[in-house]
Amino acid sequence: DRIFSTAIYFLLEQENFSAFHKIKSDECWHFYAGQSLEVYVIQHNGKLEIIKLGNDISNGEIFQYTVPAECWFASRPALHSSFCFVGCTVSPGFDFADFELAKADELKALYPEHAATIKSLCRQ
């Protein structure tokens, strides 16, 4: 038995970040309030994409983005953002059994071209 879908919301302040991790399902990110959030996604082909969530459409920001299943991703407030209030929706519902937190050295070995970004967005 598994919950069909889960949704969370949380606040990220300038000095904090969500470390690189991956899950087994697509994860849809939603922007609610504050300033822009950068979502760093290492796509299946190894390309690093930086998605800007926010409400400044003229600056390339978008209100929602879906991270593909099994992609490594992290997020942090953009450089001049004091805080970001965002949410994430996962279906089937989030389960910690499907969650893997990245170890910087292992992720850098897989994607050496992104070493600086990985180092700045990993906790271990």
Q: What is the pLDDT of residues 103-124, one digit of tens each?
A: 999 999 999 999 999 999 999 9
With a CB cutoff of 8 Å and minimum separation 6, the contacts of 29 are 37, 39, 51, 53, 64, 65, 66, 67, 75, 86, 87, 88
| pLDDT band of 7, cuts 50, 70, 90 | very high
| pLDDT band of 5, cuts 50, 70, 90 | very high
pTM assigned to the model: 0.95
Could you tell me if residue 99 is inside a domain?
yes
pLDDT value at residue 2:
87
* pLDDT above 90 (res 68): yes
Report how many domains make up the chain.
1
Q: Give the Å distances, CA to CA, from 21 to 24, 40, 75.
A: 11, 11, 10
CATH code of the domain in which 77 resides: 2.60.120.10
Domain that residue 39 falls in: 6-120
Per-residue pLDDT, averaged over 81-94, amounts to: 96
Could you tell me if residue 107 is inside a domain?
yes
Cα 111 from Cα 123, distance rounded (Å): 17
- Which pair of structure tokens corresponds to residue 30? 């939603």
Could you tell me if residue 1 is inside a domain?
no
Per-residue pLDDT, averaged over 85-91, amounts to: 98
- Which pair of structure tokens corresponds to residue 99? 């969650």
| pLDDT band of 1, cuts 50, 70, 90 | confident
Per-residue pLDDT, averaged over 76-99, amounts to: 96
Q: How close are the terminal C-alpha atoms of the chain, in Å?
A: 32
Across-strand partners of 81?
none
Contact status, residue 13 vs residue 85, Cβ threshold 8 Å: no
Q: What is the pLDDT of residues 14-67, one digit of tens each?
A: 999 999 999 999 999 999 999 999 999 999 999 999 999 999 999 999 999 999
